[in-house]
Amino acid sequence: MIKKTSRTVTRNLRKIRTAKKVLGSTQKPRLVVFKSLTQVYAQLIDDINGKTVVSASSLEKGIKDKTKKRTQKAQLVGYTIAERAISQGIKEVAFDRAGYKYHGVIAALADASREKGLVF
């Protein structure tokens, strides 16, 4: 019988593989995206100091709305994280999609943050 690995196991393997290559610094932090079944989260992380610089999620007051779809929530999170990063003086980031495909929610968040002025 053929054993099949689960989606989370394969995603975690992809996550580890990309974590070796993508590193965030003070000048160019790492933009990490996490998505659950209903919510979207984004953080700018400085890996050298081990600190989260800026974060945004779809659970925040202006974004939290039951009627919106997850891709719309992701766009709003992308706009929010970009505004907060630019207010901190950060314009360049290293995008870490955490093993997810660059499609749907992840692409919507990335495109929205690029529209607001983040470069990656």
103's tokens: 């499609």
> Considering the domain boundaries, does residue 120 fall inside one?
no
* Domain CATH number, residue 61: 3.30.420.100
Rounded Cα distance between 103 and 75, Å, is: 13
> Considering the domain boundaries, does residue 49 fall inside one?
yes
| Tally of domains within the chain | 1
> Considering the domain boundaries, does residue 99 fall inside one?
yes
> Considering the domain boundaries, does residue 2 fall inside one?
no
pTM here is 0.87
Tens of pLDDT, residue by residue over 3-50, are: 888 989 999 988 888 888 887 878 899 999 999 999 999 999 998 999
Q: What is the mean pLDDT of residues 79-99?
A: 95
> Which residue segment(s) compose the domain that 52 sits in?
7-115
Nearest to 36 by CA among 64, 15, 58, 5: 58
Rounded Cα distance between 13 and 54, Å, is: 26
> Considering the domain boundaries, does residue 91 fall inside one?
yes
> Considering the domain boundaries, does residue 1 fall inside one?
no
